[in-house]
């Protein structure tokens, strides 16, 4: 009998994923899901079918699939996208193959039918429908190539045919269609800019016309009625965007740049500049509708750490203008961090993705009613944020030069960037433009009694009483290049339990549960708290730690804000810029970078972090636990 693993890659796939996994579950012995940080319920659906759900930053489809294949337990793998599902005939053939055992084969080719708005079509650029693909193979010899677009499995010498049809529910909205065109053409230009034929204005103008006629007539999209016309238009649009982006790269001589932040970003910035001129119209910006009371909007719609970096500046702004109205435009996790902050009068939550897009006009109307006179852009994580700042109508928009996605023209006052400043101090520099004179103060986080009670109850339920020495470990980080190896965390945790007789709790969010559970399972008596708490309840748990050992990530700054003693691990990032600030009980273990140049966020194997030894970390934690080692920064 042959056992089969199913690999599925996902991102915001809640619309189709249940059907996909229901089909897979009928023949799979194991399902492995690799997600790219979905926000729409995808992870919850995936966990109904498997406990092997992993999160990983997405770059290319082939890279993601190969990563998923490496996580499988069985040699025969069936790779499926989250909008594909096998029909009954294919499932029946797979069950027969399982029962009989697969011998002398390396791969199976299968038939795939494309659907557009729930209707079968004759073609979907750049393939005819149905097309044939390899998706079922032995992983010892076959892997996906790493092409930026239109990747495929390679390494097999021959193949057999799999009966039935794989149904591909490709697109269900025009927004999804246009988004696909933009993303895929960016990846195409990024991957093929050096090898693509010469792109000229002539090809930009004529090739899209040729693409429309080819796909509408020769590929038979005309047989699909209205939807066939849309698909032919999509072929023309795709061709146009592809050549425009290639042309822009070659013209600028930046063939190796990331196109997703190059031509596409430039086009967005061009449209924003046009809107800027329409809104401003060459006239003066309006003043405050409340001349006797300053009205400030702080823009900081990013993660936990960046939000906490802004809390000292918010406190100083409140002290400088005690009667002012202070609002903060922030992200969902940012709103959790700023909840209960006495310096803030109101929070406005900016959400990314489709949900955020639908609520954008409502958010803008709400903010405009507040009649802000000054906007501080602490962190511009999304191109729409400087635009929203502009549309508030504020007389002053203040930000750091060169850190606004190429939209500095929206600012009325710029602060020169200083790479040597800690991120907290960089925010102080903006306040000085408004007349404040900030002084250093620590990060701030206010917790509620019920959150503290949840942490106490968790510890009690796991046999941790008030007299136990409690050490927390946080092996995760949003970006993999900042992570110390889980095996080092395990070795270090066992050293601490032997040396100090302590109890260990491993923290993490729902996306880090697999990692936290693995680390906890390797340490005697350790407990994993990952995935079971809200952000604020996790913070309350961190606040009860005697020592917290962590990578450079948001929970590290939570520990700083709650005055928890910390051992912080650094290598690719600079603790002088993003490490402890006004913290007394902290040991920073920092190593030099090993790669020149450092690839930063593109790195998925941070060998530089391996320079930090478990013994070194355990020794620092023991000193902190005994209260003999403090370092202020």
Q: What is the pairing mode between strands 131-138 and 76-81?
A: antiparallel
For residue 333, what pLDDT band results from cuts at 50, 70 and 90?
very high
Tokens found for residue 32: 């492995």
Q: What is the pairing mode between strands 53-55 and 127-128?
A: unpaired
Give CA separation, 273 vs 122, 269, 276, 280, 398, in Å: 41, 6, 5, 10, 17
Question: What mean pLDDT comes out for the span 587-596?
Answer: 90
Q: Is the pLDDT reported for residue 574 higher than 50?
A: yes
Q: Is the pLDDT reported for residue 266 higher than 70?
A: no
Tokens found for residue 231: 């698909």
Task: Give the CA radius of gyration of the chain.
Answer: 27
Q: What is the pLDDT of residue 242?
A: 86
Give CA separation, 16 vs 10, 82, 115, 221, 551, in Å: 10, 6, 12, 24, 35
Of the listed ranges 33-37, 55-59, 265-269, 534-538, the one predicted with least confidence: 265-269
User: 275 φ, ψ to 5°?
Assistant: -65, -40
- How confident is the prediction for the chain on average, in pLDDT? 88
Best CA proximity match to 115, nearest among 181, 75, 67, 170: 170
CB 171 within 8 A of CB 177: yes
- Taking each continuous run of H as one helix and of E as one strand, the counts in the chain are 22, 25
Q: Is the pLDDT reported for residue 467 higher than 70?
A: yes
User: Which residues are paired to 570 by β-bridges?
Assistant: 590
CB 374 within 8 A of CB 287: no
Q: What is the pLDDT of residue 632?
A: 38
**Three-state secondary structure of 550-594:** EECCHHHHHHHHCCCCEEEEECCCCHHHHCCCCCCCEEEEECCCC
Most confident of 80-84, 244-248, 476-480: 80-84
Q: What is the residue whose two structure tokens read 């809200």?
A: 534
Treating both helix axes as pointing N-terminal to C-terminal, what angle do 535-543 and 554-561 enclose, rounded to 10 degrees?
A: 50
User: Which residues are paired to 76 by β-bridges?
Assistant: 4, 138
CA 406/CA 383 separation, integer angstroms? 9
pLDDT tens digits for range 490-505: 999 999 999 999 999 9
Q: What is the pLDDT of residue 271?
A: 62
Q: Is the pLDDT reported for residue 102 higher than 90?
A: yes
Tell me the helix, strand and coil percentages in the chain, rounded to 5. 45, 20, 35
**Three-state secondary structure of 123-173:** EECCEECCEEEEEEEECCCCEECCCCCCCCEECCCCCEEEEEEEEEEEECC
For residue 630, what pLDDT band results from cuts at 50, 70 and 90?
very low
Question: What mean pLDDT comes out for the span 595-614?
Answer: 85
Q: What is the pLDDT of residue 259?
A: 35
Q: How far is CA 628 from the centre of its chain?
A: 38
Q: What is the pLDDT of residue 41?
A: 87
Q: What is the pLDDT of residue 196?
A: 55
pLDDT tens digits for range 280-305: 544 444 554 445 589 999 999 989 99
Q: What is the pLDDT of residue 377?
A: 95
Of the listed ranges 245-259, 416-430, 447-461, 581-595, the one predicted with least confidence: 245-259
CB 528 within 8 A of CB 462: no
For residue 105, what pLDDT band results from cuts at 50, 70 and 90?
very high
CB 111 within 8 A of CB 165: yes
Q: What is the pLDDT of residue 292?
A: 57
Between residues 176 and 72, which one has the greater pLDDT?
72
Q: What is the residue whose two structure tokens read 């922030």?
A: 330
Question: What is residue 229's three-state secondary structure?
Answer: helix
Q: Is the pLDDT reported for residue 557 higher than 50?
A: yes
Q: Is the pLDDT reported for residue 183 higher than 60?
A: yes
Q: What is the pLDDT of residue 578?
A: 94
CB 122 within 8 A of CB 129: yes
User: 166 φ, ψ to 5°?
Assistant: -90, 120
Of the listed ranges 137-151, 214-228, 339-353, 446-460, the one predicted with least confidence: 137-151
Between residues 23 and 406, which one has the greater pLDDT?
23
Sequence-separated (6 or more) residues with CB below 8 Å from residue 165: 86, 87, 89, 90, 110, 111, 112, 113, 130
CA 277/CA 476 separation, integer angstroms? 44
Q: What is the pLDDT of residue 180?
A: 84
For residue 594, what pLDDT band results from cuts at 50, 70 and 90?
confident
Q: What is the pairing mode between strands 160-171 and 153-154?
A: unpaired
User: What is the percentage of the chain residues whose pLDDT exceeds 70?
Assistant: 90
Does an H or E element contain 333, and which? helix 332-338
Q: What is the pLDDT of residue 258?
A: 37
């Amino acid at each position: 009998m042959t056992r089969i693993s199913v690999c599925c890659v996902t991102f915001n796939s809640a619309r189709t994923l249940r059907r996909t996994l229901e089909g897979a579950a009928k023949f799979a012995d194991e399902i492995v899901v690799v997600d790219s940080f979905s926000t729409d319920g995808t992870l919850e659906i995936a966990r109904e079918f498997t406990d092997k759900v992993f999160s990983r930053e997405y770059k290319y489809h082939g890279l993601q699939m190969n990563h998923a294949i490496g996580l499988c337990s069985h040699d025969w793998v069936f790779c499926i996208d989250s909008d594909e599902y096998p029909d009954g005939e294919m499932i029946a053939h797979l069950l027969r193959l399982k029962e009989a055992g697969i011998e002398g084969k390396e791969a199976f080719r299968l038939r795939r039918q494309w659907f557009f708005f729930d209707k079968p079509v004759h073609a979907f650029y750049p393939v005819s429908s149905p097309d044939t693909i390899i998706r079922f193979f032995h992983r010892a010899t076959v892997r996906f190539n790493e092409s930026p677009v239109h990747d495929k499995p390679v390494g097999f010498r021959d193949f057999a045919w799999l009966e039935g049809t794989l149904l591909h529910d490709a697109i269900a909205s025009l927004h999804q269609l246009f988004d696909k065109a933009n993303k895929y053409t960016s990846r195409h230009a990024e991957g093929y800019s050096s090898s693509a034929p010469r792109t000229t204005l002539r090809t930009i103008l004529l090739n899209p016309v040729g693409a429309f006629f080819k796909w509408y007539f020769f590929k038979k999209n005309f047989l699909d009625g209205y939807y066939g016309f849309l698909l032919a238009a999509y072929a023309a649009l795709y061709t146009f965007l592809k050549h425009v982006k290639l042309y822009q790269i070659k013209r600028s001589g930046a063939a190796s740049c990331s196109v997703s932040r190059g031509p596409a970003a430039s086009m967005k910035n061009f449209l924003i500049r046009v809107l800027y001129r329409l809104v401003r119209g060459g006239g003066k910006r309006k003043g405050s509708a409340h001349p006797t009371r300053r009205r400030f909007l702080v823009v900081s719609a990013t993660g936990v750490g960046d939000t906490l970096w802004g809390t000292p500046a918010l406190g100083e702004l409140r002290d400088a203008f005690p009667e002012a109205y202070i609002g903060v435009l922030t992200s969902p996790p940012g709103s959790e961090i700023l909840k209960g902050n006495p310096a803030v009068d109101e929070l406005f939550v900016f959400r990314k993705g489709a949900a955020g897009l639908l609520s954008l006009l409502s958010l803008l109307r709400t903010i405009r009613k507040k009649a802000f006179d000054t906007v501080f852009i602490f962190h511009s994580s999304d191109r729409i944020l400087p635009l929203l700042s502009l549309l508030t109508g504020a007389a002053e928009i203040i930000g750091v030069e060169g850190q606004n996605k190429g939209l500095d023209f929206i600012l009325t006052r710029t602060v020169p960037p200083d790479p040597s400043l800690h991120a907290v101090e960089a925010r102080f520099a903006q306040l000085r433009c408004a007349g404040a004179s900030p002084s250093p103060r620590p990060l701030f986080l206010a917790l509620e009694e019920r959150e503290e009670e949840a942490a106490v109850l968790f510890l009690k339920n796991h046999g941790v009483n008030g007299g136990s020495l409690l050490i927390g470990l946080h092996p995760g980080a949003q970006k993999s290049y900042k992570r110390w190896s889980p095996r080092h965390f395990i070795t270090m945790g066992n050293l601490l339990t032997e040396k100090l007789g302590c109890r260990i709790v491993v923290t993490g969010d729902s996306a880090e549960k697999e990692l936290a559970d693995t680390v906890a399972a390797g340490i005697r008596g350790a407990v994993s708290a990952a995935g079971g708490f809200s952000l604020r309840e996790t913070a309350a748990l961190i606040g009860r730690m005697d020592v917290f050992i962590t990578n450079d990530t948001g929970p590290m700054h939570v520990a700083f804000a709650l005055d928890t003693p910390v051992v912080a691990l650094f290598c690719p990032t600079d603790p002088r810029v993003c490490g402890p600030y006004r913290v007394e009980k902290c040991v920073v273990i920092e190593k030099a970078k090993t790669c020149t140049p450092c690839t930063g966020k593109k790195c998925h194997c941070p060998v530089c972090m391996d320079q930090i030894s478990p013994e070194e970390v355990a020794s620092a934690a023991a000193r902190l636990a005994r209260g003999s080692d403090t370092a202020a920064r």
